Amino acid sequence: MLVINGGPGMNSNGFEALARELSKHRMAILYDQRGTGKSVLPKLSPETVSMRLMVDDIESLRKSLKIKNWDVLGHSFGGMLASFYATEFPDRIDRMILSSSGGVDLDLLSYVGGRIQSKLNPVQRDSLRYWNAKIEKGDTTYATRLGRGRNLAPAYVFNPKYVPSLAKRLTQGNAELNQLIWDDLREIGFDCAPKLKKYQKPVLIIQGKDDIIKPNTAEIAHRAFRNSEVVLLDDCGHYGWLDAEAEYFAAIGTFLQP
C-alpha cells in the first residue's frame, strides 16, 4: 500500500505510526513528495512542481519497486493526489482509501479557510494572525513557525492532547512549494470527476465529522467513485488515526479484507 501524505509541501515524517498499523494488512510504503524531505529539487518552479509531475513520480516509484498493482491511501491533499493518480493510471490501483481527502475537485477552496477559523477560539485566531504576520514579514525561525503551529493545530484535531505533536508537524511546511501546487491545481482546473465515471475499483472515503473537510466533499467523491463507501467518524477531526484510532483502523481493516 502506497501512503500519500498531506500538505502540499510537507514531507512524510509523522506518518510512520499510520504506516506501521497499515502494515498489518499490506506492505506500507512511505515516500517524500517532490521538493520535500529527501526528495530534493535543484529549484522550485512551475517547471519542476506540478500535479502531472507528482503523479509521474508515483508511477515511477511503482515501476522502480517492480509492483504490478497496489493499494493507495491518500490523506488530505494526498487524497487529491491519489484521485488524480486514479484518473491517469486506474489499472495500477486495486483498492483506494481517501482519508480526510481534500476532494476530487476544488470545492474545498470555497469554505476550508473559514472552517478552520471557526474551529479556533478568539485567542487562537488572534494569535494565528500574529504569527502569520511575522512569517509574512520574513521571520521563518522555528520558534515563529511553532507559534503558528500551536494556534493552528487545534482546528485539525478533536482531542487537544494531540495539539503539541501536530504543532511540530506544521512547522515542516514549505510555503513556496505549497503555493506552486495550489497555483497548478487552479491552472489545470482540477476536477477528477469526469474521468472517474468509468473507475470501478473499491474506494473507502473516511473522515471525521468534525473535520475541516466538510462531509459534502466526501459525498462529491462518493458520487464520482461508483464503487465507493463513506465512513464518518464521531468525535474526530482531520486525523482519524489519532482522534478515533480504533474505529478508523477497524473500517480500513474491513475494507481491505479479500
pLDDT of 258 higher than 90: no
Q: What is the pLDDT of residue 71?
A: 98
Q: Which three cell numbers stand for residue 173?
A: 511546511
Q: Which three cell numbers stand for residue 212?
A: 475541516
Between the CA atoms of 231, 249, 55 and 77, what dihedral angle is there, to the nearest 10 degrees? 60
Per the listing, cell 481491505 goes with 256
Q: In this predicted model, what pLDDT tens digit does every residue of 113-166 receive, in sequence order? A: 999 999 999 999 999 999 999 999 999 999 999 999 999 999 999 999 999 999
- Identify any residues that bridge with 96 across adjacent strands, giving them in sequence order: 72, 203
Contact 238, 230 (CB under 8 A): no
What is the pLDDT of the chain when averaged over all its residues? Answer: 96
Which residue in 112, 155, 147 sits closest to 131, CA to CA? Answer: 147
Sign for the pseudo-dihedral over CA of 241, 246, 247, 253: positive
The answer for residues whose C-beta is within 8 angstroms of residue 10's C-beta and 6 or more apart is 36, 169, 172, 173, 174
Q: What is the pLDDT of residue 159?
A: 97
Work out the pLDDT band at 59, boundaries 50, 70, 90: very high
Q: What is the pLDDT of residue 38?
A: 94
- Identify any residues that bridge with 233 across adjacent strands, giving them in sequence order: 208
Q: What is the pLDDT of residue 122?
A: 97
**195-251-170 Cα angle (round to 5):** 75
pTM above 0.85, yes or no: yes
Mean pLDDT of 77-98: 98
- Integer Cα distance of 20 and 241 in angstroms: 12
Q: In this predicted model, what pLDDT tens digit does every residue of 198-251 receive, in sequence order? A: 999 999 999 999 999 999 999 999 999 999 999 999 999 999 999 999 999 999
Q: Which three cell numbers stand for residue 118?
A: 471557526
